[in-house]
Amino acid sequence: MQVDALAVALRPRPMMEACDLGTRLVQRHAASVWGSVLPVYLPIAAIALGTVEIAGWLPAFIIFWLKPWLDRSVLFVLSRSVFGEPTRFADLWHAQGEVWWRHLVSTLTLRRLSPWRSFTQAAHQLEGQRGSALNKRKGQLLRGRRGVGFLMHSAFANIEAIFVFGLFALALWFEPDWQRRQGMVELFGHEGSVSLALASSLAYAAVVMVVEPFYVASGFAMYLNRRVELEAWDIEQEFRRAFDA
């Protein structure tokens, strides 16, 4: 492997330190991440929000269920950023067959509720393995690391919830007392207005837009760290071959 081609310092790390590396990766390549992913995410979010009159819970559920599919675009950008390669939406569009449509059904069904999905996603998306070979690779990655993978997944789930409720709390703080009481009744009552359902869905969509790239990056950094532990540095050629970078 040509170590000089890497834009990150890969070495064996504690898994939680690897998550920090993922966070820094998103921060450093924020323009590529959100510049490439927002043109995908915003239309999906708009379509989901348009279902609010069908059921108040439906927009958030659609966004929630589609997150693994949206994560594939984030991972595409991050897989290029580890080599210092900027990504535009045009690059993502060019690779859409590999990024958006490959393994689509399993992404949204069998693997949707996996608590290790961001940790193992790179094995599905970047390595190109299938069947028993893929299952063996996932077993190698997860061996002795399931607990920390689940802990990371749980941490980000809690971060999302805290930010969503924080947005509601911030809005209520700026309301007069009588409107604040009414807002609390609508928020926690059995029947809320369409406007309240739309506001809650918007809050959730905004939080996902901000938090999800960090979740994907943390899992990807854990994957890279595990590959370093298992196979030293031999990963560059597979990443480049995956998307003809």
Q: What is the pLDDT of residue 180?
A: 54
How far apart CA 175 and CA 58 sit, in angstroms, is 27
Asked whether the beta carbons of 88 and 36 are under 8 A apart, the reply is yes
Q: What is the pLDDT of residue 2?
A: 47
Element (DSSP H or E) covering residue 132: helix 131-142
Q: What is the pLDDT of residue 95?
A: 93
Question: 125 phi and psi, to 5 degrees?
Answer: -90, -35
Q: What is the pLDDT of residue 243?
A: 52
Give residue-wise pLDDT tens across range 101-125. 988 888 899 888 888 899 989 888 8
Task: Tell me 41's DSSP state.
Answer: H
CA 33, chain centre distance (Å) = 11
Report in angstroms the alpha-carbon separations of 108 from 49, 113, 165, 188: 19, 9, 27, 30
Nearest CA to 94 out of 67, 69, 76 is that of 76
**Where do the domains of the chain lie?**
3-243
Q: What is the pLDDT of residue 181?
A: 58
- Flag residues of the chain having pLDDT under 70: 1-9, 171-172, 174-192, 232-245
Q: What is the pTM of this model?
A: 0.86
Q: What is the pLDDT of residue 203?
A: 92
User: What string of H, E and C letters represents the secondary structure of 65-122?
Assistant: HHHHHHHHHHHHHHHHHCCCCCCCHHHHHHCHHHHHHCCHHHHHCCCCCCCCHHHHHH
| Number of Cβ within a 10 Å radius of residue 99 | 23
Q: What is the pLDDT of residue 204?
A: 94
Give residue-wise pLDDT tens across range 80-99. 988 888 999 999 999 999 89
Q: What is the pLDDT of residue 175?
A: 63
